[in-house]
Amino acid sequence: MITYQDIKAKQQLATECTQACLNKVCYMTKKLIDIYVRSLKLSSGNLCDAVGDKHPYVYITNGNARCSPAEIVTGPDNITYFDLYTITDDDPHHPKAEKIRILMNVTDYDTFDVTVAGYRVETFRAVDTDEKIAEISEFIKNDIIMSLNNSSLVGYKIKDPIYLWD
């Protein structure tokens, strides 16, 4: 016979599993951002706007608000999403950024499927190593370049095009 204590224990186990999943998502998000930022080889982690305030070159949002990896929420379908912004023009008066949507799905204890949706959409399966995260990082940077090329080519011819695979 199932008792209330059995139900309560099952609920506690479910809560612990959910928290463990959130911790993994937070860890993977932080790792992805760290590897991505390092790959950009920025001279400074922040840009300074016209009034002297500092802003990061790379940041994430969860919906409309800027957030940290610890503030990302996983939906009932165990898929987490956030928007990754990269400053592409650090003009103090009119900075510009490109947005990339990232979706993460915990597939098992240490593995994620990561979908990057920007100019193109690509899903990276069984992401569990720094090398695979670096591959995602390179895809994001190439995607930003492709998006900028596309937006700058409308009706114009660039003198010095950017080649991605030289």
- The domain limits of the chain are 4-153
Look at residue 111 and tell me whether its pLDDT is greater than 80.
Answer: yes
CA distance 12 to 4: 12
pLDDT higher at 76 or 160: 76
* Averaged pLDDT of the chain: 87
Look at residue 162 and tell me whether its pLDDT is greater than 80.
Answer: no
Per-residue confidence (pLDDT) for residue 154, from 0 to 100: 54
Per-residue confidence (pLDDT) for residue 75, from 0 to 100: 77
Closest CA to 60 of 92, 25, 20: 25
Indicate the pTM of the whole model: 0.83
Look at residue 155 and tell me whether its pLDDT is greater than 60.
Answer: no
Token digits of residue 15? 């809560």
Phi, psi of 8 (to 5 degrees): -65, -40
Q: How many degrees, rounded to 5, is the angle at CA 87 between CA 86 and CA 88?
A: 105
Q: What is the DSSP letter of 40?
A: H
Per-residue confidence (pLDDT) for residue 161, from 0 to 100: 47
Rama region for 69: left / alpha / beta (φ>0; ψ in -120 to 50; rest): alpha
Per-residue confidence (pLDDT) for residue 163, from 0 to 100: 41
Closest CA to 28 of 128, 163, 164, 159: 128
Q: Which residues have C-beta within 8 Å of that of residue 62, sequence separation ≥ 6?
A: 71, 72, 73, 82, 83
Look at residue 70 and tell me whether its pLDDT is greater than 70.
Answer: yes
Place 90 in a pLDDT band, splitting at 50, 70 and 90.
confident
Per-residue confidence (pLDDT) for residue 23, from 0 to 100: 87
Give me the count of residues in the chain: 166
Per-residue confidence (pLDDT) for residue 165, from 0 to 100: 34
Place 146 in a pLDDT band, splitting at 50, 70 and 90.
very high
Percent pLDDT > 70 in the chain is 91
